Amino acid sequence: MYILPAIDLKDGKVVRLYKGDFNKVHQVAQDPLETARAFSEAGARWIHMVDLDGARGGTRINGGIVAEVTARSGLQVELGGGIRCMEDLEAVFQAGVGRAVIGSAAVSDPDFVRAAAERYGERVAVGIDTQDGRVRTAGWVEDSGLDYLEFAKFMMEVGVKNIIFTDIETDGALSGPSFARLEALKQVYTGNIVASGGVSSNEDIRRLARMGLYGAIVGKAYYAGTVDLAQAVRDAGRQD
């Protein structure tokens, strides 16, 4: 299982939200590049980056930081936030991003997702962000009304090979991942599933690995010191 430590960017700063609430933003690190290099030294090979400004407003203002991390950290970058058309997708790939995560546009423009999956295959992922089992969009502030399992099945039909699943109720809460919803997702979606939100301990990592997931994102738990990232990498297995 891949371990993807996370950097969320807002106004050029490394931050974390609590349950997706933009009114509860806390800066957790000073330098994005140095933070990414620490991830690499711990044995990670991927980093999950989110442009929160792009996710909420549609304008990716943190592109320079992302480009620096892709060029100088030694990590493969998975990036989400504000990727809403083919031009956005092409721009982030030109910046060196290894995998792009389509969020809100997967709900509003499934034809774009279909075309992206056909053109880029494994380099495209869809972020399914849920609250009470319903998909939320626009930086988690809008309820689409869609059931997350039905939406995952639709994404599989469209050709999406990777899903980043986030249960907003667990994100940033250090309460443990939403294991039951992840298990239900496994029953309907046969592609790669990356668990996001709630990881609070190295035991959580071991449990996710036992589930046979493709990856797990580690965010607040790293910054709070409740997860030993190097140990998490060892528990998860080979990262290349």
Question: For the chain, how many helices (H) and strands (E)?
Answer: 11, 12
Contact partners, residue 7, CB within 8 Å, separation at least 6: 14, 29, 32, 35, 36, 47, 48, 49, 50, 69
Classify burial at 209, counting beta carbons within 10 Å of its beta carbon; exposed 0-12, middle 13-18, buried 19 or more: middle
Q: Give the number of C-alpha atoms closer than 13 A to the C-alpha of residue 148, restricted to the C-beta side.
A: 27
8 counts as catalytic: yes
Helix (H, G, I), strand (E, B) or coil at 128: strand
- Measured torsion, CA atoms of residues 157, 102, 17, 59, in degrees rounded to the nearest 10: -160
Q: Which of 51, 129, 167, 204 is catalytic?
A: 129
88 counts as catalytic: no
Contact partners, residue 65, CB within 8 Å, separation at least 6: 9, 12, 32, 33
CA distance linking residue 58 with residue 84, whole number of Å: 8
Q: Which of 8, 51, 171, 204 is catalytic?
A: 8
Residue with tokens 């929160």, as numbered in its chain: 52
Q: What tokens does 161 get?
A: 């090979």
Residue numbers annotated as active site: 8, 129
